[in-house]
Structure 1
Amino acid sequence: MTIAAIVMAGSRPGPDPLLTGSGASTKALLPVAGQPMLVHVVRALRASPLVGPITLLAQNSAELAAEPGLAGLADLHFSDSGQGISSSLAAALPDDDAPVLVTTADNVLLTPSIIAEFLVGAEDSDVAVAMVERRVLLARYPESQRTWLKFRGGWWSGANLFRLRGRRVLPLLDFWGRIERDRKKGLKIIAAFGPWLLLGAVLRLFTIQQGIARAGLRFGLEARVVPMSEGEACIDADKPADIVLIERIMAGRNAS
């Protein structure tokens, strides 16, 4: 069995400093190590035997479909999205409860091994989120700057990989649409799930696994954190320094 994948490849409102002087019209097509970000991500998905059809979501999907680096890759589908992440994703979900794998166009260091580790850990969940604990990342890449969620037993950063069980997650996506503007503000996100979850996070009364599980219960969902063993899983291309680090990692991969 394979899982369908969705790649969120749209642009957020407002200017993106990464695009200044680059000549790229959208972040997904910004070159990294000689290829647009999106090409690296789609090729990693296509190289995984666990991934089936791939849908690319963007405000102007025809622009992505014209990218030469995607030519010849099987089972790619292009769909226009709206302005919001949650509403666009909700519209792209299957008509039933079939699971989908979701990632982003800036998840440039994605590999088949990262995909496999995540999907094994996410199996049978309604919602699964890939995350990297700070010690795992800093052991290899101490210069990497991420946004950390602090819980009992560790500090965690998201890895832009999600497994969603089809339309069962629509209430969660509707909720996320109301708070996604605060996606980089960890405590605001936690507070939106209720005062008990916020208090527990501030006082570190529970682990992130317990916190995510409790958040899922609010929507009747079995929600799970999948801890990733490779620090690269949470290094996405948000800042110029990220791209420098990503290109160094890619050069090392090619050399080996």
Structure 2
Amino acid sequence: MTDLADTPFTALILAGSRGGVDPVAAYAGVSHKALVVLEGETLLTRVAHTLTLAGATRIVVSTNDTAVRDHAVALGAEAIASAEGPSLSVRNAIEALGTPLLVTTADHALLQPEWIRRFRSDLPPAMDVVALLARRESIEAAAPGTRRTYLRFADGDWSGCNLFYLATPRAAGAIDLWRQVEVDRKRPWRIVRRLGLATMARYLTRRLTLAEAVARLGRLADVRATAVESPFGLAAVDVDTPNDLDLVRGLGAAKISSPARGGGSAKR
């Protein structure tokens, strides 16, 4: 493991739009999801403040929305133009900002400094890309009734936590594969199908571990990739739907739970 928890870093907040009317923004009566107010602060404010507390010395917001851009600048962040989809936005950010780069999203409403510090302290060495995921048990213990999209592996059911560490310039090689995965993000079996028939068979029979799948995806993209487990179940709760917004409003900062289990690398 590396020990980056107390070192400064650059962070990218994705605050783009997939086009059309965002259901969460419409439900909250604002023009953009990043401007939704939770406990007196916009989601963008909460995420940017959390990143600062975790050690970020440069925060950049990727957006094409004028109000969000102005809000980001007022918060002391930088703003760059987003592209069509988060993966291409990240590729553009790598070219503009370089690496290493911590990536998260504006709708990570409950994000906490401790989660980020733990993630960075658990980063394995010699990796180009690291993703944070949480187990179903941790998520459901922290937020009973929440509905997440899970990938089912031999070592459990996992959901993404919207935190990525792009350690080297080689991380850009994962973007094209990510763009393909984006299309299938709500259909996990299609994501796994890209791993090949033999690997797909292992996935369907629950003989494929998360670490094996991520490493295989990394090889397809010619990058060194791995996953790290978050012990914080709420790290997997973002605001994709109006129900998610109701959930995070109900939980509130005071109800953020402590780790449900030990964390670290997902590799077993």
Instruction: Return the offset for 1:176.
Output: 2.0
Asked whether 1:247 is paired with 2:252, we answer: no
Q: Which residue of 1 aligns with 2:67?
A: 63
Mean CA deviation greater in 231-240 or 88-97: 88-97
Q: Which residue of 2 aligns with 1:41?
A: 47
Asked whether 1:164 is paired with 2:166, we answer: yes
State the SS of the aligned residue for 1:81: coil
Instruction: Return the offset for 1:70.
Output: 6.6
Mapping of residues 143-182 of structure 1, within 5 Å: 143-182=145-184
Q: Which residue of 2 aligns with 1:106?
A: 107
Work out the percentage of aligned pairs sharing the same amino acid: 31
Unaligned runs of 5+ in 1: none
2:24 corresponds, among 13, 18, 30, to 18
Superposed CA deviations along residues 214-249 of structure 1, whole A, max 9, x for unmatched, are 221223322111110111100111122222221232
Unaligned runs of 5+ in 2: 1-6, 257-268
> For the residues of structure 1 that align with 2:253 and 2:82, how far apart are their CA atoms?
33
Q: Which residue of 1 aligns with 2:235?
A: 233
State the SS of the aligned residue for 1:28: helix
> For the residues of structure 2 that align with 1:219 and 1:226, how far apart are their CA atoms?
19
Distance 1:72 1:85, change over 3 A: closer
Q: Which residue of 2 aligns with 1:116?
A: 117
Asked whether 1:142 is paired with 2:144, we answer: yes
Mean CA deviation greater in 111-120 or 8-17: 8-17
> For the residues of structure 2 that align with 1:136 and 1:251, how far apart are their CA atoms?
18
2:58 corresponds, among 53, 56, 74, to 53
> For the residues of structure 2 that align with 1:134 and 1:179, how far apart are their CA atoms?
21
Distance 1:97 1:80, change over 3 A: closer
C-alpha RMSD over aligned residues: 2.1
Distance 1:149 1:213, change over 3 A: same
TM-score scaled by length of structure 1: 0.89
8 A Cα contact 2:119 2:230, kept in partner? yes
8 A Cα contact 2:148 2:159, kept in partner? yes
Instruction: Return the offset for 1:52.
Output: 2.5
The aligned amino acid for 1:85 is P
State the SS of the aligned residue for 1:20: helix
Instruction: Return the offset for 1:123.
Output: 4.1
Distance 1:111 1:105, change over 3 A: same
State the SS of the aligned residue for 1:196: helix
> For the residues of structure 1 that align with 2:95 and 2:124, how far apart are their CA atoms?
18
State the SS of the aligned residue for 1:14: coil
> For the residues of structure 1 that align with 2:237 and 2:23, how far apart are their CA atoms?
18
Instruction: Return the offset for 1:96.
Output: 8.7
